[in-house]
Every structure is written in structure tokens, then in C-alpha cells.
Amino acid sequence: MPDKSKALEPQQARSRESLRRLLRAAAEVLGQLGIAGATIPRIAAHAGLTPGAVYRRFRNKEVLLETMILQILEDQDRLIRQSITPAMAAVIPIEALAEQVISSLLISYRRNAGLLRAIRQFSQDREGTAFWRKATRLQVRSVEYIVDLLIASKGQIRHSNPKAAIGVGVAMIVGALWELVVYSKNASVWKGLVPVNDKELQKELTRSLLSYLTTTELTDIG
């Protein structure tokens, strides 16, 4: 008697590959054309599929984009955890670790600026929904992991609350990257005030974070 499970394997493999291609196409079209331009026909054509094939998987564009965004956030979180562990970070000097983290963030933000802008807009428009809550949890989880990596070097940080200091420091770096890289059209506003290339920007962001974390804590102002 033929083994039905084996007969189904090629079909299931094709289905998984088709889904990966579709989600990749959705991300590329969204990053290039924004939310309004990311139509089902355009995404389908980019994936080499028919619109009907897309609708058989997803009832509308919103569900497709939600699935794609959550997949990106989950992949991002997994890749961060696979690339370096807290145990590995503990033996890396904080200067080198901070430089590595900021360099990775800067490269990623620059490469995916259009997609990040669209994802933020899409998520903000759905604030309070189940999708928004899950996306927010994934983003916070990734930031928390970066904080955990840096806190592994807490012996070199002169702050009474290293985790709070690192959390604020990472938030400042992420905020700067959004303003200066993701929303790059705003860069002209800062002309003459910030570095003009990514190499210098990375150096200054790293220097800023390290200065904040390794400076003796200021006395509270009473």
C-alpha cells in the first residue's frame, strides 16, 4: 500500500516554498512602494503567482501583511539570538561589543529603511489590536536581548543600575537611527550637526553609548 505521507511531502515542500516566496515578495513590494502600493496583484506578480493563489492563502492584504511582518520580527529575534549569546558577550570587551551591536543595527536600518517605515506606519494604524500587541512584544523582546548582551559586561559599567542605564542607552541609539537613517529625508535638517557618512555616525553613536555607560554616575540634584 503506498505511503500517503511520502506522497504528500513534495506537495507540502512546494507549498512551503510558495509561502516563503509570497512573504518575501510582500516585504519587498511593501518596502519599495509603501502600504498603498503593496497591492495583492503587485505582490502576486512579484512572487510569480496569480492573485487567486494569494487569496487562497490570505483573505485580504491586511492579513498577508500582518503575517509577513510578524514573520520578519520573529526571524530577526531568532537571528540575534543565534549570532551571539550572553555567555559569548561576557568575554567580549564592552567597547568591541557596543561597536558590533551598533554596526549591525546601522547596517540593518540602512538596508531596510523603506520597509521599516512602512512596518511602523502599518503597526501604528493598528494600535491596540492583537497583531499590534504581538508585534510590539517581539520588538521589545529583541531590544531586551540586546540589553542582556551588553549587561553581560556590567562589571565595566559605572552605574548603580546597569540594566536601566543600558536600556536608556539602547533606546537613545535606536531613536537616533530612526531619525537619521530610517527617516533619512530628515537628515538635511541636521546638516553640519551630525556625521555625513555611516562610518562616522557609527563611531559617534558608539562613543556616545560608551561615554554614558562608563562615566561615573552623577550626584542626584536635590
The CATH number for 144's domain is 1.10.357
**Residue 180 counted as domain residue:** yes
Rounded CA separation 171/48 (Å): 40
**Residue 139 counted as domain residue:** yes
Residues 12 and 121 in one domain: no
Residues 93 and 188 in one domain: yes
Radius of gyration of the CA atoms of the chain, in A: 21
- Could you tell me the residue range of the domain that residue 208 belongs to? 61-214
Question: How many domains does the chain contain in total?
Answer: 2
| pLDDT tier, 158 (very low <50, low <70, confident <90, very high otherwise) | confident
Q: Are 198 and 105 in contact (CB under 8 A)?
A: no
Residues 8 and 107 in one domain: no
Residues 106 and 177 in one domain: yes
pLDDT surpasses 50 at 154: yes
Residues 51 and 80 in one domain: no
Residues 94 and 3 in one domain: no
Rounded CA separation 123/66 (Å): 9
pLDDT surpasses 50 at 222: no
Sign of the torsion angle spanned by Cα atoms 68, 177, 214, 163:
negative
Rounded CA separation 29/46 (Å): 8
The pTM (predicted TM-score) of the whole model is 0.86
Residue 154 burial (CB count, 10 A): 16
**Residue 220 counted as domain residue:** no
Residues 142 and 88 in one domain: yes
Angle at CA of residue 165, ends 73 and 190, nearest 5°: 70
| pLDDT tier, 220 (very low <50, low <70, confident <90, very high otherwise) | very low
Residues 48 and 132 in one domain: no
Rounded CA separation 163/83 (Å): 21
Residues 95 and 199 in one domain: yes
pLDDT surpasses 60 at 221: no
Per-residue pLDDT at 187? 59
Residues 25 and 117 in one domain: no
Rounded CA separation 43/39 (Å): 6
Residues 111 and 183 in one domain: yes
Q: Are 38 and 65 in contact (CB under 8 A)?
A: yes
